[in-house]
Amino acid sequence: MSTAATPNYELIQQDGLETNLLEVSMGPHHPSTHGVFRMDVKLDGETVVDLRPVFGYLHRNHEKLAENMSYLSSMPFTDRLDYFNSMTNNWAYALAAEKLIEVEVPERAEYLRVIMAELTRLVNHVSLVGFFINDLGALGTPLLYAFREREKILDLFEQASGARMMCNYFRFGGLRNDVPEGWLERAAKVVDHFPSFLDEYEQLLCENEIILSRTQGVGNLPRELAISAGVTGPMLRASGVAYDLRKVDQYGIYDRFKFRVPYTDGDTGDCYDRFMIRMLEMRESIEILKQALAGIPEGEIMGNAPRVFKPKPAESYGRIEGPKGELGFYLIADGTPKPYRYRVRPPSLINLTVLRDMCLGGKIADAVIILGSIDIVLGEVDR
């Protein structure tokens, strides 16, 4: 083969043999990409030489749509950003808008918000771990065990909000409706049961030699790179930075709960760290849930906020510690019922920016699990 025929490819001299780099387009319809996402990978044998993430296949014009409708109307669209965590998406948007109209949230609503957000974190982490092991090749068992538990929490969401995934439950100044009678007892039952499932799950996965050898030392993310790339959430904590907005901002009533933030003590994090951080975070979420379910008071769930309003010209940024990282909504009000600018800071997209750095030099099969360990949802990456 002559060099002239393939001018774009570098040629590799190895033992006197000339070989080409192989360019592979993984995706957009590939089971490992968690949606419509494409990785343009250049391979030298099995080693990844270059990787280019290509996304935008699921772009739905979320931000521009929201700029053309009233503040309340874009609330159901936030469910569809990260469709695993509609409750936390709602909360971040409600926080941003509540700063604009300066409305107080009643005590009971604050407790219910924390309960919903932590249940969402359980849903997200448990299904992420299932999918992650699925990416490793364990088709079925771990994922289905995870989904079995997830379904119980989704049942709770359905009873409270009327929908399993597209909850649309938070409102500016509170929540749409109170939880039905007996809901808190049922939630307590699910929460009490969860640790025994986690014990079983850890026994199933955490010492498995195949998982250890596939994930340890794979996809290293150094602390400096994680910080400078703006990575947040469990990924950042897996790289050795104890940064959690629940502790830093203490939005809502998180200052009242006693919980720990798990992080690694090394200065680099691999896929196994990111997997374990999520397992540990679920334990802490259960602690928060137990405290919240014990301390929830009776009372109103909706503050004195109008349905449709015209905020004074101002700007606000509401952010929360979503299950995937810092989820922020930036709003500029111009005195009309519609936001002048509406911008989402999606944790999935920003965590995805370090994909190339983590994959370079690794094997192509490892690129799949590195992507799985980032925990992306394409609805949020592309918006």
Partner 1 sequence: MRILGGGIFKGMAVTLRNFVGSYLNKKERLHTNDYSWRADGALPQSIGDYPKEKGEQLSDTTTVTEYSRNFPMLLHDGGEPMDTVRCVACQICERECPPQCIYIEKDYDENGKYIKRPAVFDIDVSVCMSCQICVEVCPFDAIVMNSQFELSTPNRFGGLLVRRDDLLKSNDYYHKIHPEEAASRDQKMAVEKAAKEAKKKAAAEKAKAAAEKKAAETAKEEAK
Interface residues toward partner 1, by CB under 8 A: 69-70, 72-77, 141, 145, 148-149, 152, 155-156, 158-163, 166, 168, 176-177, 180, 182, 186, 189-190, 193, 197, 200, 203-210, 212, 307-308
Least distance between partner 1 and beta carbon 360 (Å): 30
Task: Check if the beta carbon of residue 377 is closer than 8 Å to that of residue 348.
Answer: yes
Least distance between partner 1 and beta carbon 61 (Å): 13
Q: Provide the angle, in degrees to the nearest 10, between the axes of the packed helices 183-205 and 271-295.
A: 160
Least distance between partner 1 and beta carbon 167 (Å): 10
- Residue 239: which of 230, 248, 247 has the closest Cα? 230
Residue with tokens 């949606």: 35
Least distance between partner 1 and beta carbon 149 (Å): 8
Distance CA 383, CA 259 (A): 32
Least distance between partner 1 and beta carbon 208 (Å): 5
Question: Please, which residues have CB within 8 angstroms of residue 351's CB and are 6 or more apart in sequence?
Answer: 231, 232, 233, 235, 324, 325, 374, 375, 376
The torsion angles phi and psi of 304, rounded to 5 degrees, stand at -90, 70
Nearer to partner 1, 12 or 210 (CB): 210
Nearer to partner 1, 29 or 193 (CB): 193
Residues facing residue 332 across a β-bridge:
315, 341
Task: Check if the beta carbon of residue 38 is closer than 8 Å to that of residue 54.
Answer: yes
Distance CA 73, CA 172 (A): 12
Nearer to partner 1, 20 or 73 (CB): 73
Least distance between partner 1 and beta carbon 112 (Å): 14
The two structure tokens encoding residue 220? 């290293």
Residue with tokens 């009309």: 336
Distance CA 135, CA 226 (A): 23
Least distance between partner 1 and beta carbon 65 (Å): 8
Neighbours of 154 (CB within 10 A): 17
